[in-house]
Structure 1
């Protein structure tokens, strides 16, 4: 069970406000460092997103984690997370358009999702209530394992043809 994820943003307040809106959550200041925010989903799992300023990094402190400064992050990131949201595809598209962030519907084959490119820097995959069941079915180890075997078999056949 993932309870929270932390990621950087150029404008943590704006990102927290938008993500709280899309998750029906609430956002609060996050006192670990000035300018950080937390979005709480108000669910039974304690799910939350921690958004810290882009020029901050987590460091191993003397007794526990600490926050330090870093050079501004590159424009894009390897970070991404998939979350289920209680709003519609149309709502996500409207909010993305309002914020000027890239939003696109994607069919990944076994499931569908919506890419929300926060600050046009990193991707959050959003699953509406109608998309979540297919994702949950696909991510069961046996289903994913069978799919992976299929993909690997197809790749071997393609390499044999070349």
Structure 2
């Protein structure tokens, strides 16, 4: 099951606003990096789009994914995907080791996942059967909005279209 995709845009706010309108979704700031936004579809699958500034890319940080600039990233990308899978964490780790790819379990706070860095440059966030329910619960617009409000300690506008 595909849960979310991230991609770069020259004007992330505008892109998020338009895509929220077209999907009858809601858009929020995405605090991973300044200027990033998330469009949440509000469906039962936790479907979302993450839009990051065009000059940002996902890089493997010390413990989990981080955001870098095009100049520092060399071979990394501003695109990633989150999927739920039926295989175990151990199997994902075995495959990552076998292929020589960075693989690690990460705690994102409200949910856990496994980062698999394909060819050590493109990140796939993998959610096992055990991890998926927490992710789906967190990705409800009202839950994500409340979390963002708590994290930022300020009023967060819920932008809904429909």
**TM-score computed with the length of structure 2 as normaliser:** 0.50
Greater relative contact order (Cα 8 A, min sep 6): structure 1 or 2? 2
**TM-score computed with the length of structure 1 as normaliser:** 0.50
